[in-house]
Amino acid sequence: MKRKPLLVSTIAILFLSAPALGIPMYNVVDLGTPGIRSVANAINDKGEVVGAVSSPDGSDSHAFVYRDGRMQDLNITFPNSAATAINDNGAITGRYNDFGINRAFTYDNASGFMPLPSQGWGQVFTNDINNQGRVVGVGVHNNQFRAFQSGPGASLTDLGTLGGPSSRAEAINEAGTVVGAAALPNNGGSHAFLYNGQMIDLGTLGGMDSIATDINDKGQIVGASTLRQGGVHAFVYENGRMTDLGNFGSGTTAAQAINNNGVIVGDWFIGNTGRGFIYDGSLHNLNDLIDPLSDWQITQALDINDLGQIAVFGCDIAQCHALRLDPITTAEAPIPGTALLLLSALAIPSLRQIGRVVKNQ
Model pLDDT, residue 247: 97
Q: What is the pLDDT of residue 33?
A: 82
pLDDT band at 331 (very low <50, low <70, confident <90, very high): low
pLDDT at position 176 is 98
Q: Are 178 and 167 in contact (CB under 8 A)?
A: no
CB neighbour class for 54 (10 Å; exposed up to 12, middle 13-18, buried from 19): middle
Confidence bin at 327 (pLDDT 50/70/90): very high
* DSSP string of 50-110, one letter each residue: EEEEE-TTSS-EEEEEEETTEEEE---SSSS-EEEEE-TTS-EEEEEEETTEEEEEEEETT
**What is the pLDDT, as a whole number, of residue 281?**
96
What average pLDDT does the chain have?
A: 88
For residue 308, what are the CA distances in angstroms to 91, 143, 262?
21, 40, 10
Specify the pLDDT at position 16: 46
Mean pLDDT confidence for 288-295: 93
Q: For 8-30, what is each residue's pLDDT tens digit? A: 444 444 444 455 556 789 999 99
pLDDT of amino acid 32: 83
Residue 329 has pLDDT above 90, yes or no: no
For the chain, the straight-line distance linking the first and the last C-alpha, in angstroms and rounded, comes to 28
DSSP one-letter string for 133-201: --EEEEEEETTEEEEEEE-TTPPPEE---SSSS-EEEEEE-TT--EEEEEEPSTT--EEEEEESSSEEE
pLDDT in tens, 204-232: 999 999 999 999 999 999 999 999 999 99
For residue 53, list its beta bridge partners: 38, 62
Q: Is the entire prediction scored with pTM above 0.75?
A: yes
Q: Which domains does the chain have, with CATH numbers?
A: 25-327 (2.120.10.30)
Residue 205 near residue 227 (C-beta atoms within 8 A): yes
Distance from C-alpha of 136 to C-alpha of 155, rounded to nearest angstrom? 12
**Residue 336 has what pLDDT?**
52
Residues with Cβ within 8 Å of residue 264, at least 6 apart in sequence: 222, 234, 236, 245, 255, 257, 258, 278, 279, 280, 304
Percent of the chain whose predicted confidence (pLDDT) is above 90 = 79
Could you tell me what percent of the chain has a pLDDT over 70? 85
Contacts of residue 175, defined as CB under 8 A and 6 or more positions apart, other chains included, come to 196, 217, 219
pLDDT at position 7 is: 42
